[in-house]
Amino acid sequence: MISIIICSRNLGIDPKLSTNITSTIGCEYELIVIDNSQNKYSIFQAYNLGIKKSTSEIICFVHEDVLFHSKDWGKKLIEIFKSDTKIGLVGVAGSKVKTKAPSGWWNSPHELKQINIIQHIETGEVERWEYGLDNDALLEEVVAIDGVFMVVKRDENILFDSTLKGFHNYDLNISLLYKVKGYKVMVTKEIVIEHFSNGNINKSWYLSTQIFHDKNKHYLPLMTDDLKDNFDLKKLEFYNGVKFIYYSLNFGFNYNIVIKWFRLLLINPTDKTHKKIAKSIIKNLIKKIKIKVY
């Protein structure tokens, strides 16, 4: 059996999703819906509550705005976990590298992403994102997966970090926890879901991401074994670092961010992005001074 945990912003999930799960999963399951209509829980707390309520050895965390397109996807998950006892976490999108610099899992070279999903985008169009998983492979090892669909093998020593707040970086959190415990993190090509919304990269995401990386920097960076001898990680670290700093400053001045920038400035002082960052810092400081004056 599989336990399916959904954190809902409503009193219950859409009947279409409930019907869809029943008609596609292909095995016994229990559905645990965490009512978060009053915004009582962070996503970390909600999922931990779901884990405590669940009874299965395989636990699936999934967004409420999806539909499953694959038949017998539950059976396929059971077979995946049986095929290799080291597999601890399975998703439908992820990356083979995760930098120490603050970033999303998707902030990696295109060829290192492993994605298999039907995605609705802001323009109203629907796109099939299917890349990576080369050579007809049904499974590919990654180091971090996307939170839209995450399936874990129960481990009583692993829970989401409830000291983290909000609704971001829970996927990086659980990916990191399973990697640290010696499990494999995988993306599967056998399960296709349709996702009806995009993630929201806003101020709360940047703040959450900064906190998550500061707390877990001793575990990072991570990359799959096949990359360790032939991938320029330093270049990606620098790129992700300056990108995160530049866009963070769109949401106001932050001393911690400026300190991070100075460190990157020392590593590569000639990069053109530094001028943009400096202008943004000056702009933010002027705003801050004006506010204090008034």
Q: What is the pLDDT of residues 28-84, one digit of tens each?
A: 999 999 999 999 999 999 999 999 999 999 999 999 999 999 999 999 999 999 999
Q: What is the pLDDT of residues 171-218, one digit of tens each?
A: 999 999 999 999 999 999 999 999 999 888 999 999 999 999 999 999
Omega prior to 269 cis, within 30 of 0: no
Q: Given phi > 0 = left and psi -120 to 50 = alpha, else beta, which region is 6?
A: beta
pLDDT (0 to 100) of residue 290: 64
Report the C-alpha dihedral over residues 48, 52, 54, 56, rounded to 10 degrees: 100
Percent of the chain at pLDDT exceeding 70: 97
Confidence grade of residue 285 (pLDDT, cut at 50, 70, 90): confident
Residue 291 has pLDDT above 80, yes or no: no
Q: Annotate the chain with three-state secondary structure.
A: CEEEEEEECCCCCCHHHHHHHHHHCCCCEEEEEEECCCCCCCHHHHHHHHHHHCCCCEEEEECCCEEECCCCHHHHHHHHHHHCCCEEEEECEEECEECCCCCCCCCCCHHHEEEEEEEECCCCCEEEEEECCCCCCCEEEECEECCCEEEEECCCCCCCCCCCCCCCCHHHHHHHHHHHCCCEEEEECCCCEEECCCCCCCHHHHHHHHHHHHHHHHHCCEECHHHCCCCCHHHHHHHHHHHHHHHHHHHCCCHHHHHHHHHHHHHCCCCCHHHHHHHHHHHHHHHHHHHHHC
How far is C-alpha 61 from the chain's CA centre?
A: 12
Residue 136 has pLDDT above 80, yes or no: no
C-alpha to C-alpha distances, 24 to 5, 19, 78, 273, nearest whole angstrom: 16, 9, 14, 48
Residue 138 has pLDDT above 50, yes or no: yes
Q: What is the pLDDT of residues 111-121, one digit of tens each?
A: 999 999 999 99
Q: Quick check: pTM over 0.85?
A: yes
Residue 293 has pLDDT above 50, yes or no: no
